[in-house]
Amino acid sequence: MKFLVLCLGNIGPEYADTRHNIGFMVADYLAAKFEAPRFEISRHAFVTEFKHKGHTYALVKPTTYMNLSGKAAAHWLSALKIPVENMLVVTDDLALPFGKLRLKGQGSAGGHNGLKDIQATLGTDVYARLRFGVDANFPKGRQVDYVLNPFSPDELIELPTRIEKAADAILAFGSIGLERAMNVVNVK
């Protein structure tokens, strides 16, 4: 079985270690852990894949910037012939405390522009998403500055452990299915 793991972020060195790029960080961690081939630039994304417990995971980091993530989702679902129920989107979430994970099978975009574009492009809100909490520690009206800035020194201490937990959640999605993975991921 094959899974599309669409890890959201923005390309370019100025965005590399920002909260908005947690999806890219999780993708890089998984690629390194499973010694995946180097990410190759392709249509709308950097792409690689790895195998784990008989499943193939296509890691996709869109090059479309966050607000046009739907282009990459639609293209790679079609190109790899993966049904939308086998797609997991990994993204940041301001509504969750730092490092808290929330796995869901459908729902609103919650104000997230990347998710809004995916839903508009695919015409559905029924797809799995793994939300990685980045907290909402910013003054009113400064949301964009906050998500486009690096993690705090305190957060950086915990970040590797939190990224590893996100990677485990992705593997659970593939190996035990969405419903059972939600029961594991969402209780922590």
Per annotation, catalytic residue among 20, 44, 75, 112: 20
Give the 3-state secondary structure of the chain: CEEEEEECCCCCHHHCCEHHHHHHHHHHHHHHHCCCCCCEEECCEEEEEEEECCEEEEEEEECCCHHHHHHHHHHHHHHCCCCHHHEEEEEEECCCCCCCEEEECCCCCCCCHHHHHHHHHHCCCCCEEEEEECCCCCCCCCHHHHHCCECCHHHHHHHHHHHHHHHHHHHHHHHHCHHHHHHHHCCC
**Among this protein's residues, is 55 annotated catalytic?**
no
The residues assigned a catalytic role are 20
